[in-house]
Structure 1
Amino acid sequence: MIRLSRGTLVTLAGLLVGAAGLVIQWIAEPAKFAEALPPLGVAFPPGIAFIAVAAVLTLLTSRWWWHPVFAVVIAFWIVGVGTLAGELTPNLTSNNPGTVTGNLVMSAGLITTFITGIRTTTARHPTQHPDQAPHPT
């Protein structure tokens, strides 16, 4: 059985909230996601698939200290790069309240993922090689 740290659980919960925000946007404005994904044959927010892959990779690598990196990267890509590219801001100022709400929920979840993922990674980072003796104090 996999035992996940509290930080990992919060990181994964943030990804789940981010995906929920995308679902809210999808329900509010389905035409925005007009391109169908071939395997599904339905219009679908592709960000959900990217978030799901990051969550699975985070879980599969959970025994290593660096495992939240996948969640951190996708959160930064969607919120950070999305903001820098000018994709996020128009959605936050949209006339559609569902789009705005979905973006706020998504951003809150992914910002939580980003912060918690970095904190979890740095907290679990090995400070010395296992073969090294501790430094005298």
Structure 2
Amino acid sequence: MSAIVARVAAASRSTRLSLWGLVVGILGLLIQWIADPGKFPLFPPGIVFIVVCGALVVFTVGRWWAPVFSVLISLWIVLGGWAAGQLTPNFRSDNAGTVAGNVVMSLGLAFAAVTGIMAMLGAWRARGR
């Protein structure tokens, strides 16, 4: 566990913020699950995908492109969910927990995508110096 903490501590500030955005995205999914457990088979599968991508970011810390996994999972869930027509009905749900969870998840993942892009750009620029 301390090795993971050390890897995260070694990451750039933007990369750490991107990881925090993923944590907030997971929190949003947990809120949705608590509000309407029947909406998910057994457990929200998005949590597993987010955790795996977060682990890949931590595992690749030190490489300029490490936060790409935060960006990809965030865009896949938010933009993919919107394009597939699954996100909008959750925002319009009669269940306040579903709406709140969706807002928290979407904001967290959008934050993860933006800070992940900023981390990669900053690392790319620093690499060229």
**TM-score with structure 1 setting the length:** 0.85
Q: Distance in 1 between matches of 2:95 and 2:25?
A: 19
The answer to whether the aligner puts 1:16 opposite 2:23 as a matched pair is yes
Whichever residue aligns with residue 14 of structure 2, its letter is: G
Question: Aligned runs of 1:119-134 on 2, under 5 Å?
Answer: 119-126=118-125
The answer to whether the aligner puts 1:64 opposite 2:63 as a matched pair is yes
The 3 A distance-change label for structure 1 pair 31 and 73 is same
| Structure 2 SS opposite 1:125 | helix
Q: Distance in 2 between matches of 1:100 and 1:128?
A: 42
5+ residue gaps, structure 2, are 1-5
The 3 A distance-change label for structure 1 pair 10 and 128 is closer
% identical aligned pairs? 49
Q: CA RMSD in A?
A: 1.4
Q: Distance in 1 between matches of 2:127 and 2:35?
A: 50
| Structure 1 SS opposite 2:61 | coil
> How many pairs align?
122
- Aligned residue in 2 for 1:48: 47
Whichever residue aligns with residue 55 of structure 1, its letter is: G
Deviations 1:28-85 (A, max 9, x none): 000001x2xxxxxxx1000000000010000000110000000100000000111011
The answer to whether the aligner puts 1:104 opposite 2:103 as a matched pair is yes
- Higher share in helix: 2
TM-fit CA distance, 1:4:
1.6
**TM-score with structure 2 setting the length:** 0.90
The 3 A distance-change label for structure 1 pair 128 and 20 is closer
TM-fit CA distance, 1:128:
6.9
Q: Distance in 1 between matches of 2:128 and 2:104?
A: 41
| Structure 1 SS opposite 2:17 | helix
Question: Deviating runs (4+, > 2 A) in structure 1?
Answer: 126-130
TM-fit CA distance, 1:129:
6.2
The 3 A distance-change label for structure 1 pair 128 and 59 is closer
